[in-house]
A and B are shown apart, each in its own frame.
Chain A
Amino acid sequence: MKADVPRISYRPKLLLGLAAILVLVFLALLPLYLGIYQTQLLTYGLIASIAALGFNLLLGYTGLLSFGHSAFFGIGTYTVAFLARDAGIHSMELYILIGLPIAALASALLGYICVRHTRIFFGILTLALSQVLYSLVLKLFWITGGTDGLRVTRPSLLGGTLTFTGGGAYQRFVHAYYYYVLAAFALCVVMMWVIVHSPFGKALQAIRDNETRARFLGLRIRRFRWIAFLISGTFTGLAGILWVPLNGVTTPDVTLYWPVSGDIVFTALLGGFRNFTGPIVGGLVFTYLKTYAVATTEYWQFLLGVVLVLLVLLLPTGIVGALSALVNKLRPKEKIA
């Protein structure tokens, strides 16, 4: 029987890996040609892509629309801020090592409550719980700094090898931090790609497509959704951890308020949530779109709203979905013998 089994073709994966390496090299070369502001903007874009990658494990692969991912982003940022202020830690690696388990724990707790429901009830629960957290951070100002938030100084990178003080420190930090975030981004992409192509990822897609049948394969639906929620929240938490040293400050309005969750949903819709690369592209495009909308007009929310409406009406599969449909259309059809 085994001799009859065709060999696994590694060629598509090798080609995909090659394409990914080319993109990575391109991204690595970009700061050589970009100014400091553009490099910083690109770093924000990569961080948004990490958040969207995590979010899309729930939306695109599990079929659960969360309106509460700001909670995990905020938990990431505030963990770093507390570590810097209260523990005197200024190492990026320690921020990640301590911050990730905290984000995972928070995701596990919130997920345990939220995945008991699906559809609108799930969405409302995630929104409500995230806003409870927002209110707490806002009101407990003697701990959290209230509306003023908490400041975070520039951390050292690579176990203290890279520190940023003295003249030109900001420029050096932005430059080095871009590569730091790029490495984290590459790692996240690889990890998420393996997850969605693993048996677990297939099981999530099965649950998304047909919950009843998945149950009758013996899959424990709630447990799978909970694990997906945990991973999703942890990725978004990592995005928060990476974001705050670059921004220098975290406030409830910027990291925990519900529009932050809306931005993450927007990001996934913009890129396309039914394909793997959609959220990555969405994260980068949304960052530039929002930045330039804010810089161009005081009615930037209106502008983003119009973009969202047009997106849903004209490009329901997002940028990547539309591009892949276009490529399929232009590809020469195989002749039928």
Chain B
Amino acid sequence: MILLQTIDLRKQFGETKACDGVNFVVNQGEFLSLVGSNGAGKTSLVNLISAQLTPDSGQILFEGKDITFSPVHERIKAGIARSFQIVNLFDGLSVFDNVALSIFSREGKAVNMAALADHDHAVRAECLDVLGQFGLRDKSAALAGGLAQGERKLLDVAVAYALRPKLLFLDEPTSGVSTRDKGQIMDTVSSVVRAGTVTAVVIEHDMDVVFRYSDRIVMMHEGRFLADGTPAEIRANNEVASILLGAPLST
């Protein structure tokens, strides 16, 4: 079943075509990776879908409904959430508060000013549960700004995940962390996302990570889709290999 679809989506910055007629389909329940070299248009595509950018033309359909010009809060309400390439947290707030805010926002409780935030038992229980799933429960009282980079990456995803989205975009969840931490982060993220039956689209450069965790891989190049297939199909695609690595991909 198609969850998200873009039809002939276009976005241009000056002479540069960030998205050049992109027809993108995300099916419900899949763990999809969006790959491509720097400047391929991956983040621009996610920015268009998440309403950080407005398309020049084309259409974005989510669950069959046109959301092309819907504001951010409506897309989030519809079930689209995202994390960011550069970790984007509330550094002055605790780890607990970072996640709790997502839950308050989702539940429409963020405007409540007559009760203490940490006395909402339901939110507190869910928040600690989410933090537990991401291995951050012990850090719940720490300031988000004081976490290690790997933990910050996980918290970034946890904040988006706590919105209980139907579709979650993860923009380079392992960038800037050590090779050892990459595996841990992706193990955690993929297990949480799959257990929560969330459809995930991951932008990732590390092809080992991509092949290991993805159900489907879509490759972008110069604002267009170059290839779309299972990890085995992409591995066998020589054009992909030559663009990504300049050589065939190892098996």
Out of B91, B92, B113, B119, which one reaches A200, CB within 8 Å? B113
Provide the residues of chain B in CB contact with A209, threshold 8 Å.
90-93
A202: min CB distance to chain B, Å: 5
Chain B positions within 8 Å of A97 at CB level: none
**Within residues 70 to 97 of chain B, which ones have a CB less than 8 A from any CB in chain A?**
72-73, 76-77, 81-82, 84, 88-93, 97
| Docked complex: A207-244 residues within 8 A CB-CB of B | 208-210, 212-220, 224, 227
Q: Once the chains bind, are B117 and A219 in contact (CB under 8 Å)?
A: no
Confirm or deny: A45 has a beta carbon within 8 angstroms of a beta carbon on chain B. Answer: no
Q: What B residues does A202 contact at CB under 8 A?
A: 93, 97, 100-101, 104, 110, 117
* Chain A binder among B4-12, B36-44, B122-130, B230-238: B122-130
Assign chain B's interface to a size class: 35 or more
Q: B179 interface residue, CB < 8 Å from A?
A: no
- The B-contacting residues of A in range 165-222, CB under 8 angstroms, are 194-195, 197-203, 205-206, 208-210, 212-220
Question: Assuming A205-B90, A206-B90, A212-B88, is B117 touching A198 (CB within 8 A)?
Answer: yes
**How far is it, in angstroms, between the C-alpha of A4 and the C-alpha of B120 when the chains are bound?**
16
A-side interface size class: 20 to 34
Q: Once A and B bind, how many residue pairs between them come within 8 Å at the CB atom?
A: 113
B125–A203 CB distance below 8 A: no
Q: Which residue of chain A has its CB nearest to the CB of B50? A: A216
Q: Are B119 and A210 in contact (CB under 8 A)?
A: no
Interface membership of B148, Cβ < 8 A: no
Q: What residues on A are CB-neighbors of B195 within 8 Å? A: none
With beta carbons under 8 angstroms apart, the residue of B82, B102, B106, B114 that contacts A194 is B114
Contact residue among A1, A198, A218, A220 (Cβ-Cβ distance under 8 Å from B106): A218
Contacts of B106 in A (CB 8 A): 218
Complex alpha-carbon distance, A217 and B81, angstroms: 8
Q: Is B116 an interface residue (CB 8 A)?
A: yes
CA distance in complex: A116, B219 (Å)? 40
Residues in B with CB closer than 8 Å to A6 are 128
A8 close to chain B: CB less than 8 A = yes
A198 touches B116 (CB 8 A): yes
CA distance A208 to B102 in the complex (A): 16
Closest A residue to B118 by CB, please name it.
A8
Show the binding face of A for B, using Cβ within 8 Å: 1-2, 4-6, 8, 194-195, 197-203, 205-206, 208-210, 212-220, 224, 227
8 A/B residue pairs, CB under 8 Å, sorted by A: A5-B121, A199-B100, A199-B104, A199-B110, A202-B97, A212-B84, A215-B72, A217-B105
